[in-house]
Structure 1
Amino acid sequence: MNEKLLAKIGLNKYESSVYLTLLKQDSMEASKLSHASKVPIGKIYEVLKTLKNYELVEIQMSRPQRYRAVDPKSALKLMYRRKEEETLNELKMLKETFDEIEREFYNDNSPQNVETVFWPDRFRNNELNDMVTSFFEKIEHEICVVIHIKYKPGGSELYDASISTFSKAYLSLVQRGIKVRILDPGSQLLPSLKELIDSIEDLSLKRHLKNLMEVRILETEYNFSIIDSRITLLDIEDQFNMSRNLGMTRIYDESYAKRFKTKFDELWAKGELFL
């Protein structure tokens, strides 16, 4: 056997020489093995101990002790499994180290990738519909929405006017297989969604909606959305007219989204089932 192959699995020159020598013999004493393998007598016991740890060599309890090679077919399989386990443990420890380093760099819990979108003073024609459609089509798995109490009927004319657009957008998400969970304070969104769902004649589609869309009622001062457990959406309020939003901030940070998801789950448990 080529010693270079054994080197690839971690055996050094002396270890390879001793193992290959033993494979040709039934068993040997350490002194004779040293001579046959050309490994110095001062190194032979250290080499044999390493091979024993690899389970490539067995010790025969005789006087003097004799050593024999373990059948390569079984020995090398055991060695592979052990190295595989060691590698997985090393990778696990490496990941933990990377995670710890990342926490050290970002221990202020601030988001790392932020994008701000400002709304126009007035939406024209299908501008709002196009904007919502463009953003919603990027959602892959789930959206969790918390709607502020200020959006109860009459609280915001702009929101009331956009209800139909958002209702249809949420329904479109469900039809694509996206899970939708909404916490609503009792806004116009509720009757709008119910009207849309009641108008559906396809019973299988209605069952699909029931499985993927859930709406609960809760009056809260929180106002945020979470997309696919990795993007957080926050409204930018007009400080001179709190019923109006200037735009929206998208935060692309999974650890940040996780914090909001924890808050969402807490609020969700308090909500009263609507749909």
Structure 2
Amino acid sequence: MNEKLLTKIGLNKYESSVYLTLLKQESMEASKLSHASKVPVGKIYEVLKALKNYELVEIQPSRPQRYRAVDPKRAFKLMYKRKEEETLNELKMLRETFDEIERELCSDNFPQNIETIFWPDKFRNNEVNEMVDSYFEKIEHEVCVVIHTKYKPGRSELYDASVPAFSKAFFSLVQRGIKVKILDPGSQLLLSLKELIDSIEDLSFKRYIKVLMEVRILETEYNFTIIDSKITLIDIEDQFNMSRNLGMTRIYDESYAKRFKTKFDELWKKGELFL
């Protein structure tokens, strides 16, 4: 028999030679087997141990010990079964490794689509209203907003000046049937929203507004907005003037938004009901 066939199933040259030699004999002692198979004496016991692990060789309880080949039909059937189990386990481990690599490379830490927008030094005329409207017009279901404590009254002139535009935008969202949830540190936005709601004369509509708009008070260092659980908005702060924003990063990634929604829900539980 060609020894190369045995090497294809995992046996090395010495193991193949010893096994084929034993197949021709009833049984043999290690020293004689070494000579007959042309395997060095220093290697023969190592080879026999490997063949026994493969269950291709049996040891006869005699003195000195004698070795005999296991019937090929039975031996190779068992060997195949073990190889099959090992291969399946290797494939399972390989699949788990691929999954782990995929999670690492495609994890929430790597947003798929990011857009950065920088503000002008000063907004002219209706630029703030136009900017807010452009961000809010595509909202379909829900917006969750967390406002940083730095936006408490008097700390940011730009924010205080933009409050009317934001409060009207939030109010318009609710009129469209969109859920609005806001965590505010006690900024001008609270009074602006309250004034708008108090100005409503239709009581049923006022109740409708309060069902869709929930506002809670919480001082927090977080500052982000989540749109429809798909888009996350994060401010870009001026590192030389933390009360001023240079622009905004818009992240289009549902898995990334999910992380922020988890944080929002955590903060939401800590908030004190306002509206």
Q: TM-score, normalised by structure 1?
A: 0.63
How far the C-alpha of 1:102 sits from its partner, in A, is 4.6
Residue by residue, what CA displacement relative to the aligned partner does 1:168-221 show, whole Å, maximum 9, x if unpaired? 000000000010000000001011100010001122221111110000000000
Structure 2 match to 1:56: none
Structure 1 match to 2:106: 106
Structure 1 match to 2:137: 137
The alpha-carbon distance between structure 1 residues 204 and 122, as it changes in their structure 2 partners (threshold 3 A), is same
Give the letter aligned to residue 120 of structure 2: P
Q: Does 1:117 align with 2:126?
A: no
| SS of equivalent residue, structure 1 residue 243 | strand
The alpha-carbon distance between structure 1 residues 174 and 151, as it changes in their structure 2 partners (threshold 3 A), is same
Matches within 5 A, 1:1-275: 102-107=102-107, 109-275=109-275
Structure 2 match to 1:85: none
How far the C-alpha of 1:243 sits from its partner, in A, is 0.6
How far the C-alpha of 1:100 sits from its partner, in A, is 7.0
Q: What is the RMSD of the two structures over their aligned residues, measured on CA atoms?
A: 1.9
Counterparts of 1:225 and 1:232, CA distance in 2: 6
Structure 2 match to 1:30: none
Counterparts of 1:110 and 1:155, CA distance in 2: 33
Counterparts of 2:99 and 2:189, CA distance in 1: 41
Counterparts of 1:204 and 1:108, CA distance in 2: 42
| SS of equivalent residue, structure 1 residue 249 | strand
Residue by residue, what CA displacement relative to the aligned partner does 1:56-95 show, whole Å, maximum 9, x if unpaired? xxxxxxxxxxxxxxxxxxxxxxxxxxxxxxxxxxxxxxxx
Counterparts of 2:156 and 2:137, CA distance in 1: 26
Counterparts of 1:107 and 1:201, CA distance in 2: 49
Residue by residue, what CA displacement relative to the aligned partner does 1:115-163 show, whole Å, maximum 9, x if unpaired? 0111111111111101111110010000000000000011101101111
> Highest Rg: 1 or 2?
2
Q: TM-score, normalised by structure 2?
A: 0.63
The alpha-carbon distance between structure 1 residues 248 and 203, as it changes in their structure 2 partners (threshold 3 A), is same
**Stretches of structure 1 lacking an aligned partner (at least 5 in a row):** 1-95
**Stretches of structure 2 lacking an aligned partner (at least 5 in a row):** 1-95
Question: Retained in 1: the 8 A contact 2:108–2:255?
Answer: no
| SS of equivalent residue, structure 1 residue 190 | helix
Following TM superposition, the consecutive aligned residue runs of length 4 or more in structure 1 with deviations greater than 6 angstroms are: 98-101
Counterparts of 1:108 and 1:249, CA distance in 2: 16
The alpha-carbon distance between structure 1 residues 268 and 99, as it changes in their structure 2 partners (threshold 3 A), is farther
Counterparts of 1:137 and 1:101, CA distance in 2: 38
Structure 2 match to 1:64: none
How far the C-alpha of 1:107 sits from its partner, in A, is 3.7
Counterparts of 1:220 and 1:167, CA distance in 2: 20
The alpha-carbon distance between structure 1 residues 99 and 164, as it changes in their structure 2 partners (threshold 3 A), is farther
The alpha-carbon distance between structure 1 residues 99 and 129, as it changes in their structure 2 partners (threshold 3 A), is farther
Counterparts of 1:143 and 1:251, CA distance in 2: 14
| SS of equivalent residue, structure 1 residue 216 | strand
Question: Retained in 1: the 8 A contact 2:108–2:256?
Answer: no
How far the C-alpha of 1:233 sits from its partner, in A, is 0.5
Structure 2 match to 1:73: none
Counterparts of 1:178 and 1:139, CA distance in 2: 8
| SS of equivalent residue, structure 2 residue 220 | coil
Structure 2 match to 1:29: none
